[in-house]
């Protein structure tokens, strides 16, 4: 996420110099070799000094420590953002770690991603055409929010602003629950004696449905734990919808089964996301 | 499915003449125009007379009537197949409709399909590399099963033979349940006041997960009703897996959440289907 942001900013001519931090020698060298960074440092504070735009692209659980490390070196007026998939926990971490400098922090969630992560896969086109959700805290300076909005827009993104809670509710519904369902479907299969035989027969429908089940366990553990309450709300909604199908099947009620499917099929067909790119 | 089968057979040089039946003038004309058929007739019995290979590619609910119409005109020794997605109901329909001629019937399920149906989308490559499941009835002549096996293999398919029940259990797990989950997930969204707002934020993960929710309601009603018992078995397995996640979330047990995700992620990553083609 961070590498792609650096490449996109450079291509758009929005930055003079990009400095990066990573604790890994290999990652720093790779970022320099690929032209993602102009300088790469092993200290987050050294890397951040003098920057007027900072992006923290770390696992959600590392956000608080990263923000704390930045507090002492954050330039007045600099814009600070993250890219985390949950936002209430990030806001809370920022409130603890940033103190007064929270005015400079605009929590951000770009709805983009690849199956593969790491600077080796950094891609200047990653954010082109995607949505970015900003969830400014109560203390965030509106001028910083406006600057964040202009910046992501300049990278070709559609930008929306909402509360961290509205963000987390929505993503529990359209991202976290689908992931949990895909994980649960894989586990339900492997829990059965015939699971491996069943899997050997699966086709393209199953492939697409279960693609997100291959996601990174540590990343998704953090997302699920951070958004626990909203995920449970969505799981309850799902179980209710599933039980409506089960009841109709048990009652041998073909008309209700068809009407439940029609409702879903019409809603999916009307959904406007262009299905062209697979990312 | 039928049109693609005709084109594939022609290209492989396995047929001299392909005759088709459709009650629709437009469909018959389109099949002739596209070179899918050499002759197209409005009567199933007339179309079938003299054929030594017959494929019934109709909605599952129409199978029994189609087989009954073929019984009187089926040539001795001719091979008769279907392409239905459920097999116990097809075997039962054949037992009722075909009488002694059931020896010539080899129920088949090619695991292939497109978002779009109809002769306009017939594709000689549709079956290339896909799996075909044969579920011969107790009365099917083994020579006909062998012939069916050779035929699909010649079209580039991997062919497997199993009982109709084994087929229906497996497909309840890897196809019918994923469809029901995708339908239920769409319905769970639209049942919420904020559903439309949530959907507007959904990204590529949701797109792939929910692709099968756009499937045809009448087709899937028939599949669900025909495989009701096995679908309910799989739905119970899924709910159990889902409740394991919910319990770990409620208990604030991050280690169990991670281990449930790891298990799913490892199983999905080890699944061998090549993800190259999207069909």
Average pLDDT estimate for A126-153: 96
Partner residue opposite B258 with nearest CB, options A217, A235, A260: A217
Cα distances (angstroms) measured from residue B126 to each of A171, B4, B279: 36, 6, 9
What's the mean pLDDT when you consider all of chain A? 93
Q: Which segments of chain A belong to CATH 1.10.3660.10?
A: 167-270
A66 contacts A90 by C-beta, under 8 angstroms: no
Backbone φ and ψ for A72, nearest 5 degrees, come out as -70, -25
Give the span between the Cα atoms of B41 and B24, in whole angstroms: 10
Q: What is the DSSP string of B176-196?
A: IHHHHHHHHHHHHHHTSTTHH
Mention the CATH class of domain A167-270: mainly alpha
Helix H or strand E segment including A44: helix A44-48
Any idea which of A10-19, A185-194, B71-80, B266-275 has the lowest mean pLDDT? B266-275
* Pairwise CB contact (< 8 Å): B264 & A197: no
Partner residue opposite B170 with nearest CB, options A174, A197, A262: A197
In chain A, where do the E strands start and end?
19-21, 39-41, 53-56, 79-82, 105-106, 108-110, 131-134, 158-161
Partner residue opposite A171 with nearest CB, options B181, B201, B225: B201
Hey, how many other C-beta atoms are within 10 angstroms of the C-beta on A36? 22
Would you state the pLDDT for residue A62?
87
**Cβ of B228 under 8 Å from any chain A Cβ?**
yes
* Pairwise CB contact (< 8 Å): A174 & B190: no
Q: Which segments of chain A belong to CATH 3.40.50.720?
A: 2-162
Would you state the pLDDT for residue B116?
58
* Pairwise CB contact (< 8 Å): B206 & A269: no
Which chain A residue has the Cα nearest residue B111?
A203
Would you state the pLDDT for residue A278?
39
Higher pLDDT, B275 or B6: B6
Choose the mutation target among B109, B130, B170, B185 for the interface with A, i.e. most A CBs under 10 Å. Answer: B185
CATH assignment of B2-162? 3.40.50.720
Nearby residues of B171 by Cβ (< 8 Å), 6 or more positions away: A201, B85, B86, B109, B227, B230
- CA angle (A161 as vertex; A160, A165 as ends), nearest 5: 120
Backbone φ and ψ for B136, nearest 5 degrees, come out as -55, 145
Give the span between the Cα atoms of B142 and B245, in whole angstroms: 47
pLDDT tens figures, B217-243: 999 999 999 999 999 999 999 999 999
Res. B65 pLDDT band, cuts 50 70 90: very high
């Amino acid at each position: 996420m961070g590498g792609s942001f650096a490449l996109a900013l450079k291509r758009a001519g929005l930055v003079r110099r990009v400095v990066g931090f990573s604790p890994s020698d290999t990652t720093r060298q790779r970022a320099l070799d690929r032209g993602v960074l102009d300088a790469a440092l092993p200290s987050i504070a050294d890397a951040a000094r003098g920057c007027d735009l900072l992006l923290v692209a770390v696992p959600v659980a590392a956000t608080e420590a990263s923000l704390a490390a930045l507090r002492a070196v954050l330039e007045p007026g600099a814009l600070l953002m993250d890219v985390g998939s949950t936002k209430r926990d990030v806001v809370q971490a920022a409130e603890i770690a940033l103190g007064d400098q929270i005015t400079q922090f605009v929590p951000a969630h770009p709805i983009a991603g690849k199956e593969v992560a790491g600077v080796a896969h950094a891609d200047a086109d990653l954010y082109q055409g995607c949505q970015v959700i900003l969830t400014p805290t109560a203390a965030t300076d509106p001028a910083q929010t406006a600057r964040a909005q202009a910046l992501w827009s300049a990278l070709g993104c559609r930008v929306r602003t909402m509360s961290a809670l509205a963000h987390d509710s929505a993503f529990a519904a359209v991202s976290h629950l689908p992931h949990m369902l895909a994980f649960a479907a894989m586990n339900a299969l492997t829990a059965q004696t015939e699971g491996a035989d069943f899997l050997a027969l699966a086709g393209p429908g199953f492939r697409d449905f279960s693609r997100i089940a291959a996601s990174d366990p540590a990343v998704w553990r953090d997302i699920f734990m951070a958004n626990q309450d909203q995920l449970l709300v969505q799981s309850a909604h799902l179980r209710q919808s599933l039980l409506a199908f089960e009841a109709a099947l048990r009652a041998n009620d073909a008309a209700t089964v068809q009407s439940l499917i029609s409702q879903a099929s019409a809603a999916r067909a009307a959904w406007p996301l262009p299905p062209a790119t697979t990312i």
